[in-house]
């Protein structure tokens, strides 16, 4: 049996994809605390073994905001 991240089912990892438009493959880090998109570089947290695949929860990526970028509010609506 090959090594796998604790708490993440290999079958689940095969079907998960990044929610960003690229829909890239998600790769777990060594301790399975995050999943990183191979296409855009966004990193998603894994909380209690559950991937949180919300763009609002992602860090990094092609246009990552700075540390004082606000709360993610957008105009319009």
What tens digit of pLDDT does each residue of 32-69 get? 799 999 999 999 999 988 999 999 999 998 865 544 44
72 pLDDT above the threshold of 60: no
Residue 7, classed as helix, strand or coil, is: coil
pTM greater than the 0.85 cutoff: no
Instruction: Report whether 46 contacts 7 (CB < 8 A).
Output: yes
Laid out side by side, the sheet with 26-28 consists of: 26-28, 34-37, 43-47, 50-51
Collect all residues with Cβ–Cβ distance below 8 Å to 30 and sequence separation of at least 6.
5
Specify the length of the chain in residues: 77
Encode pLDDT of 4-15 as tens digits: 445 688 898 899
């Amino acid at each position: 049996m090959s090594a796998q991240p604790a708490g993440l089912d290999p079958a689940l990892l095969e079907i998960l994809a990044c929610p960003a438009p690229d829909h890239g493959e998600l790769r777990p880090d060594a301790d399975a605390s995050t999943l990183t998109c191979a296409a855009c570089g966004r990193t998603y947290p894994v909380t209690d073994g559950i991937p949180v695949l919300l763009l609002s929860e992602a860090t990094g990526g092609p246009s990552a905001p700075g540390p004082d970028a606000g709360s993610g509010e957008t105009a319009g609506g």
